[in-house]
Amino acid sequence: MDDLTSGLGEAARLLFGGNTEVWEIIHLSLRVSLIATTIALVLGVPAGAAFALARFPGRSLAVGAVYAGMGLPPIVAGLLVSLLLWRNGPFGATGLLYTPLAMIVAQALIATPIVAGLTLAAVSALDPRYRLQLLALGAGRMQTVWWLLREARLPLIAAVVAGFGAVISEVGAAMMVGGNIKGETRVLTTATVLEVSRGHFETAFALSFVLLGLTYLVTMILTLLQRHYVRVQR
């Protein structure tokens, strides 16, 4: 209990005591996770909608792969990206390993199946008569997909929350492809692990509280957007 209390005090000191390193870590954590979540949306939403609406041989296997990917262990994603970016790997010449960009790629790999799976579930849950009505009114394929996604926008906000929550809190992939380099690739989760290994539990608790507060703030903003859409619908 004393550690928790001390951690709260240390969190306040780190945030408001002029500690620029902590603010740099917070900024990098937000930048990496928000970019990765955006990439996951760009890739995952169309993929999820396509799997929900299209019918093709092997669709069941593809849908199963998407749902299985929602549980992809972050350490596996980190390993895959590391193998691709390692100096002997196919993209080793780019020198991207142990950079924020490598962390974004790994986190996008984690979040994309989550967004795709939730989009698939949201679109599949819509009344099939709505799609038939759009087609009867002369809507093209892209217009139909657009209106179906609009109809499912509330679950899609939940997909954003889930994707962001998955990447902002993961540590394995960030450590593996980022290296936890001070001033370069150190984010809140990897900094917390480092402080625990040093035995600095008060600082580790402080960083954990900052991470929780940051996650809560972003999630609350998305939740307020969701409630706004509900009021507009009514």
- pLDDT value at 100 more than 80: yes
The single residue listed with the structure tokens 């945030």 is: 15
Percent of the chain with pLDDT over 70: 87
| C-alpha distances in Å from residue 35, one per residue of 7, 88, 97, 104, 138 | 29, 27, 17, 7, 36
Whether the CB-CB separation of 117 and 69 falls below 8 Å is answered with: yes
Q: How confident is the model at residue 205 (pLDDT cuts 50, 70, 90)?
A: confident
**Which residues 6+ apart lie within 8 Å of 40 measured at CB?**
108, 111, 112, 114, 115, 163, 167
Sign of CA pseudo-dihedral 159, 55, 128, 150: positive
CA dist., res. 201 & res. 219, Å (int): 26
List, for residues 122-165, the tens digit of each pLDDT value: 888 877 777 677 767 676 677 777 777 777 777 888 888 889 98
What is the Cβ-side half-sphere exposure of residue 136, based on CA atoms within 13 angstroms? 6
**188: burial class by Cβ within 10 Å (0-12, 13-18, 19+)?**
buried
Q: How confident is the model at residue 83 (pLDDT cuts 50, 70, 90)?
A: very high
Residue 125 is encoded by which pair of tokens? 């849950």
Number of residues in the chain: 234
Question: How many angstroms separate the first and last alpha carbons of the chain?
Answer: 46
**Domain assignments of the chain as residue spans, ordered by start:** 2-233
Q: Whole-prediction pTM value?
A: 0.86
* CATH class of residue range 2-233: mainly alpha
CA dist., res. 196 & res. 198, Å (int): 5
